Amino acid sequence: MGTMTWLCEQREGDQLVFRVGRDGDMLVADFVGVGKLHADTRRATHSFEPDPRADPASVAKLVEGPIPALLRHLEGRPALHGAAVALHGRALICVGPGGAGKSTMIAELAMRPAFELVSDDAAAIDVVGPAVRITPTEPSLWLLPSARRALQLDATTSAKTRVSPRLRCRSAVPVAAICALTFDEAGDRPVLRRLGGGEAFGVLAGCAVRFAIDDVAARAREFDQLVEICKRVPVFELLRPRSLEQLAAAGNLLQTLLEEGRAT
């Protein structure tokens, strides 16, 4: 082994929560306090080592979503940091930075009749002919007490808790829309608008899952993939108040988007 070089990191406040580094042919994804993923890019092998002090539920969450998404990047297949549901065979992916409310928004929809949960943390997508398809990943959602309370679920525990949806999607389905979630501090109701051109591409580029971030060929391939996704899938922005009192109204807009294929 050579010398580890950390290539990027993610913090929540002053706390380091995630970082990616390289040691020769070995890529390392460090989920601080939960575990480390090692991937040998030359031998195409990988291993995951949970932190012995980590909460087993946190480890399970990584194994279900983020780790497979990182490995997809090494295979040349795209994934987005996003939560998704399907309705009548058409999927909606909600994307956004940490704290944007992706899981909460998707949970609101997943509790409605006929909606099927597709993913909570990692949206595994593939460009297949003229369509973009998403493959189901995580079987459940992880919600904070405030979100569980808004959805009239048990909120007695203070940590994020696993919540099961009404239905789970069992096979790959076409992606009908991708929606970036944004809080509007000045707004009093949710508003949905379609993005075009550079705005749409910027949303996808900002939420793409990356592991080999120093690989020029991988970045070029990702660029081409995101361009193709923009051509095939409409991208929207959902502006909404931070108050969870507007959660159902936001869900209604997204349900209309899936049912009619347009924002109203």
Q: How far is CA 248 from CA 89, 109, 116, 156, 240, in A?
A: 22, 9, 17, 22, 11
> What does the block give as tokens for 194?
């379609």
Using a 10 angstrom Cβ sphere, with 0-12 exposed, 13-18 middle and 19 or more buried, the burial of residue 176 is: buried
Residues (pLDDT < 70) of the chain are: 1-2, 261-264
Residue 54 has a CB neighbour count (10 Å cut-off) of: 14
How many whole angstroms separate alpha carbon 185 and alpha carbon 182? 9
How many whole angstroms separate alpha carbon 218 and alpha carbon 73? 8
pLDDT of residue 17: 92
How many whole angstroms separate alpha carbon 126 and alpha carbon 110? 23
C-alpha gyration radius of the chain: 18
pLDDT of residue 99: 85
Check: CB of residue 52 under 8 Å from CB of residue 37. Answer: no
pLDDT of residue 261: 60
How many whole angstroms separate alpha carbon 77 and alpha carbon 177? 19
Long-range contacts of 100-105 (CB under 8 A, 24+ apart): 100/181, 100/182, 100/183, 101/147, 101/181, 101/183, 102/181, 103/141, 103/142, 103/143, 103/147, 104/143, 104/144, 104/147, 104/150, 104/244, 104/247, 105/181, 105/238, 105/247, 105/250, 105/251, 105/254
pLDDT of residue 161: 87
